[in-house]
Amino acid sequence: MRQNGIVAKMAKKFKRHTHKHVLFRETSNLLLGKAPETDVNQVWVGDITYIRIGQEWAYLATVMDRYSREIIGWSFSKERTAALVKEALLMAVAEKGPTAKTIFHSDQGAEYASKEYRQALLEDGLRISMSRKGHCWDNAYMESFFHTLKTEMVYFMNFKYLAEAVAYIMDYIHFYNHERIHSGLDYLTPNHVANAA
């Protein structure tokens, strides 16, 4: 190569983008070592799951009150964006109204780390908490809800249209909140626990 004047073209070194990592470093997991909730509006948790519509994926974002296990906000869309999770949050805020001490906990998904979403959390007075990387059980209640939703309803359906899926999801969330009893709630429904609180 030297004799013929050939020089190898070196690949550009990967440059790590720090903007998201800075957000993660500045956000701790406020649930680690925390005592169990004793009332509603102490801890809200959020997450996203995917549901097949025809040959494509759509995304469901939900917000749950961790004390009552009630789904207090949700949004469904064919696009996985910060707007998706923000819409679910805004529904929860309108329905339940957080206190100055309410913690909102999520995983480290890009939607939850976005400036737009974090700004919405701060404007509504929520304290931001994020799971540790690779620790899905930090948000176990949300993971459990998605498992229940899929095994009790979604896996039995073959959705062709977004509107059809939305209608079924609305019905299921109403059923989950008002009729489905939970062993972890002494065999009460989330709505019953929330109203009692």
Dump pLDDT digits (tens) for 104-151: 999 888 898 888 898 999 999 999 988 766 555 668 899 999 999 999
For residue 5, the model assigns a pLDDT of 83
**43 pLDDT higher than 60:** yes
pLDDT number for residue 33: 82
Set out the domains of the chain in order of their start, with CATH numbers: 38-196 (3.30.420.10)
> 25: pLDDT confidence band, cut at 50, 70 and 90?
low
pLDDT at position 34 is 86
Q: Print the SS3 string covering 25-80.
A: HCCCCCCCCCCCCCCCCCEEEEEEEEEEECCEEEEEEEEEECCCCCEEEEEEECCC
Least confident range from 22-36, 77-91, 116-130, 138-152: namely: 22-36
From the list 118, 104, 89, the residue with the least C-alpha distance to 44 is 104
Place of tokens 């999770």: 85
Query: pTM of this prediction?
Result: 0.84
Mean pLDDT (the chain) is: 88
Indicate whether 44 pLDDT > 80: yes
Lowest mean pLDDT among 78-92, 96-110, 145-159: 96-110
- Whether residue 11 has pLDDT greater than 90: no
